[in-house]
Amino acid sequence: MQKQFKFVSIFLLLLMITAACSNNRNTDKVSDKEETQTETEKKENVELTISAAASLKEAMDVIGHTYQEEHPEVRLKFNFGASGSLQQQISQGAPIDLFFSAAEDKFDGLVEKGTIANEDGLDLLGNELVLIVPKADQSIKGFNNLVKKEVGKISIGTPETVPAGKYAKESLEKMDIWKKLESKIVYAKDVRQVLTYVETGNVDAGIVYKTDALVSDKVEIVASADPSTHTPIIYPVGIIKDSKQYETARDFYEYLQSDNALKVFEEYGFTSK
């Protein structure tokens, strides 16, 4: 009887140990599953905010779409505008991960402040400055025609904040016609607003980047500014040092330098540096 009792006790003890181990294994599996789900959720919630010059919009939309198809865990949020305004927003602490400027001076200002590290930025693209008119009006043939009395308003970007406007003013000054045209100038908040003014016929002519003119079927390019008349048009791009998604930002930064991305930029009229 005592032997039988001892046997039953040992059996029950083994049964309890087996059940406990099984529960632990199940708990471990649940924990592993929860951890995997958490990691997946974190990956799916990665969002990058890119501040980019307005002239980059169409090309960046295409590149961003392709990148997100290859990296479904990343969501790209674009903030397009005048480079000077974007620089000010970043300087004031806006939560931006990358800055793609249409002017070196706006970009270099952030590098000098330490907002962008030297090793996290580079000159990526170039562009061209052109004179455009509404497609229905071909009376203006070049920059020198702008001084004629019959030519009314001419639009450029605000030189203090819009790089294309700064280049336009430099070029007109170098041609020695700025003072004659100053009273005709209509300033715009960015280069795309200049394009809109010309498309709608609100002005007789405008000075924009070649890449902007190429995306519109409502304007005609009548002349290109001599590159020697203005500061070189360079588009630098860089990672914001305090980005909370630094590694993902670096991956997209490197993707912008890839052959596939550069091919898209070239299709939209940009040149590679």
Interval 71-122: pLDDT, tens? 999 999 999 999 999 999 999 999 999 999 999 999 999 999 999 999 999 9
The torsion of the CA quartet 142, 147, 151, 155, rounded to 10 degrees, works out to 80
Residue numbers of the domain that contains 249: 45-126+235-272
Query: What's the domain count of the chain?
Result: 2
Residue 187 lies in a domain: yes
pTM of the model: 0.79
Same domain, 69 and 114: yes
Residues 122 and 135 in one domain: no
Do residues 223 and 247 share a domain?
A: no
Whether residues 175 and 55 fall in one domain: no
Same domain for 172 and 243, yes or no, is no
Looking at the domain assignment, is residue 217 inside a domain? yes
Torsion (CA) 183, 137, 195, 142 in degrees, nearest 10? -60
The one-character DSSP state at 256 is: T
CATH number of the domain encompassing residue 190:
3.40.190.10
Q: What is the pLDDT of residue 27?
A: 47
The reported pLDDT for the residue numbered 9 is 52
* One domain, residues 119 and 133: no
Give the residue ranges of the annotated binding site for molybdate.
55, 83, 164, 191, 209
- H or E segment to which residue 90 belongs: helix 83-91
Q: pLDDT at position 137, please? A: 79
Residue 36 lies in a domain: no
| Res 17: pLDDT | 53
Q: Are residues 121 and 182 in the same domain?
A: no
Query: Is residue 122 located within the same domain as residue 240?
Result: yes
CB 246 within 8 A of CB 91: no
74 and 209 together in one domain: no
In this structure, the answer to whether residues 84 and 157 fall within a common structural domain is no
Same domain, 243 and 114: yes
Alpha-carbon distance of 36 to 45, in angstroms, equals 14
Which residues of the chain fall below pLDDT 70?
Answer: 1-44
Does residue 142 form part of some domain?
Answer: yes
Q: Is residue 239 part of a domain?
A: yes
Are residues 221 and 266 both part of a single domain? no
Adjacent-strand bridge partners of 205: 154
The answer as to whether 3 is a domain residue is: no
